[in-house]
Structure 1
Amino acid sequence: MDLLATRPSNPAPAAPEYPWPNGTQCALFPAFDVDAESVWLGADPQNAKRLVTMSYGGYEARVGIPKILEVLRRHEVKATFFVTGWSIDAHPAACEAILADGHEIAHHGYLHLRPDTADEATRIEEMDRAIDAMKRVLGISPTGYRAPWGETCVEQLELLKSRGIRYSSSFRDDIRPYRHVLPSGAGPIEIPVNYSFDDWSYGLTHRTSPRAMFGREDVLSIWRDEFDQTREWGGVTTMVMHPQVTGRPMRIRILDQFLTHVRQFDDVWIATGRDIAAHYERCERTNQES
């Protein structure tokens, strides 16, 4: 394979402009990455001995997830939680609470390892060990997947397809869902991410770089403006929030106020990844039959 060949990195055609359901103009995909301590362990196993570093992840189950669930209940919003298998095994009660509130739990690797730098055996272990944790602890099978560290590869997309995972939410190259094209043929549906909604960039980079945290008004203005323009374009606003970031006291107000902003519009479909993928599949079948 020529890595430097002059061709688009993504062979999928432009996203089809399927209509959103019930006459809505756009979609909001509220999604959280539940990494807990696994994000720190996956970055460096030696972090297991650094208890303050680990405590950032531990905040999710202790405080972050319960507070986020409260906000979602108040706004009557159903979200998708991309959860690592490690987090399910370590914090089963927190994950059970997510399901009890009617939210979707999707695949996010086991130990939050990057697929593109892993060998084949590690990729398969990360995939299957997380699926096993979801079935064994929660009694569910995943419909969707988000790549740890926001990175993936063709081999990983093929692995998703082989495991029956219907959608991915990792790429940043569109504002509407589309279907991947793989060497084996049609791949999973992609629900693209809007990077402006990755709260880690605003609220936790101080732990790994000299970048300062962003204040509430800075983040809220970005989120509002990105959502408003995406709504005008008829796209999907896909969020990447982390309970160890957005679950903090000041930052949860950003989520609360953003959802208040979104709720003032009656033409927004707020949906889980599972529901967006199912809608895409219905539109795809209708288009093929016509």
Structure 2
Amino acid sequence: MIDMRVNWPNKARVAVMLTFDFDAETLWLARDPENIRRPGILSQGRYGAKVGVPMILQTLREEGVKATFFVVGWTAETHQDRAEMILREGHEIAHHSYSHSWIDPSFPDKEVEEMEKGLEALKRCLGVVPKGYRSPAGETSDNLIRLLQKHEFLYDSSLLDDINPYRHVMPDGSRGPVELPWHWSLDDAVYALFSIKGPRPIFPNSHIRQVFQDEFREIYRWGGLYNLVMHPQVSGRPSRIMLLREMIQWIKTFPDVWFATGTEVAEAWAAGHEKG
């Protein structure tokens, strides 16, 4: 077997990132702007702010682990109190666009606007200059890494092409951001995000748990990054708060596991794998 072990701090075998995409209503507005007139649809996103975030924060506090929240700029403006709760609990806030609009490479000006308006909102509302970025729905363009480099981001978590971090290389050969890859199999929305216009099964927790745990076991064996992607409006539901708690407790039964924020993972990977 190819050795894929990463030099994590304290000789940890695996790094675990608990990440939450705090979209709130933008998840539904970005899909269909007409949803602005449909309070029932928007209430799904509002649940994530109203109930999901506080319950997630309580669970993380009780388990003594830190997380990274990728916050949409509009969400920081509209649910500032909830974003401030995240900061008070000592978690990382990273960038997740301004309106959760999916990137279309045909409209580069829109991509720039989403990046810069989101940065401005996080700074104005929360005093945060984020070090990390994740694109909505994993949609990106060839311009993304250049934009991240321009705004001096430490890391990106938008691509799905590895289980370990790696360094982007810019066209001039210079170092770009560190990539912290993710995958749909470790995204709660795949299993439990329901839409009337795009109906699909809501899987039982036993199914979700099996996929999450099977992925962890093998990433642990390989030695890599376990990047779990959750959404307060999905994983903030009562039974999935229980699942989050059970997952954290189950992962803790494995020796040499390091729970870390995106910034901590990116910095540790760079320190352990790069010279100079």
**TM-score, normalized by length of structure 1?**
0.90
- Identify the match of residue 153 of structure 2 among 165, 169, 177: 165
SS at match of 2:199: coil
Equivalent residue, structure 1, for 2:63: 75
Q: Measure the CA separation in 1 of the matches of 2:254 and 2:121.
A: 38
Equivalent residue, structure 1, for 2:28: 40
Equivalent residue, structure 1, for 2:216: 227
- 2:226 equivalent to 1:269: no
Query: Which amino acid in the other structure matches residue 250 of structure 1?
Result: S
Is the Cα contact below 8 Å between 1:206 and 1:213 reproduced in 2?
A: no
- 2:144 equivalent to 1:152: no
**TM-score, normalized by length of structure 2?**
0.95
Is the Cα contact below 8 Å between 2:8 and 2:272 reproduced in 1?
A: no
Once the two structures are superposed, the pairs formed by residues 69-108 of structure 1 within 5 Å of their partners are 69-108=57-96
Once the two structures are superposed, the pairs formed by residues 5-154 of structure 1 within 5 Å of their partners are 17-117=5-105, 119-154=107-142
Once the two structures are superposed, the pairs formed by residues 176-187 of structure 1 within 5 Å of their partners are 176-185=164-173, 186-187=175-176
Which range is displaced more, 58-67 or 187-196?
Answer: 187-196
Instruction: Identify unmatched segments of 5+ residues in structure 2.
Output: none
- With over 3 angstroms needed to count, the CA separation of the structure-2 counterparts of 1:16 and 1:119, relative to structure 1, is farther
Which range is displaced more, 19-28 or 180-189?
Answer: 180-189
Q: What is the deviation of 1:195?
A: 2.0
The count of aligned residue pairs is 274
Instruction: Identify unmatched segments of 5+ residues in structure 1.
Output: 1-14
Is the Cα contact below 8 Å between 2:168 and 2:179 reproduced in 1?
A: yes
Equivalent residue, structure 2, for 1:6: none
Q: Measure the CA separation in 2 of the matches of 1:193 and 1:63.
A: 26
Q: Measure the CA separation in 1 of the matches of 2:248 and 2:197.
A: 29
Is the Cα contact below 8 Å between 1:194 and 1:237 reproduced in 2?
A: no
User: Residues 23-56 of structure 1: CA distance to partner in whole angstroms, max 9, x if unpaired?
Assistant: 1111111100000011111111111001111011
Is the Cα contact below 8 Å between 1:196 and 1:222 reproduced in 2?
A: yes
Q: What is the deviation of 1:116?
A: 3.3
Query: Which amino acid in the other structure matches residue 267 of structure 2?
Result: A
- Identify the match of residue 257 of structure 1 among 225, 246, 256: 246
**What RMSD, in angstroms, separates the aligned Cα atoms of the two structures?**
1.7
Q: Measure the CA separation in 2 of the matches of 1:139 and 1:95.
A: 11
Once the two structures are superposed, the pairs formed by residues 200-239 of structure 1 within 5 Å of their partners are 200-239=189-228
Q: What is the deviation of 1:58?
A: 0.5
User: Residues 259-281 of structure 1: CA distance to partner in whole angstroms, max 9, x if unpaired?
Assistant: 11001123111100010111122
Is the Cα contact below 8 Å between 1:154 and 1:182 reproduced in 2?
A: no
Q: What is the deviation of 1:110?
A: 0.3
- Identify the match of residue 198 of structure 1 among 187, 190, 194: 187
Is the Cα contact below 8 Å between 2:73 and 2:119 reproduced in 1?
A: yes
Equivalent residue, structure 2, for 1:8: none
Percent identity (aligned): 43
Q: What is the deviation of 1:16?
A: 7.6
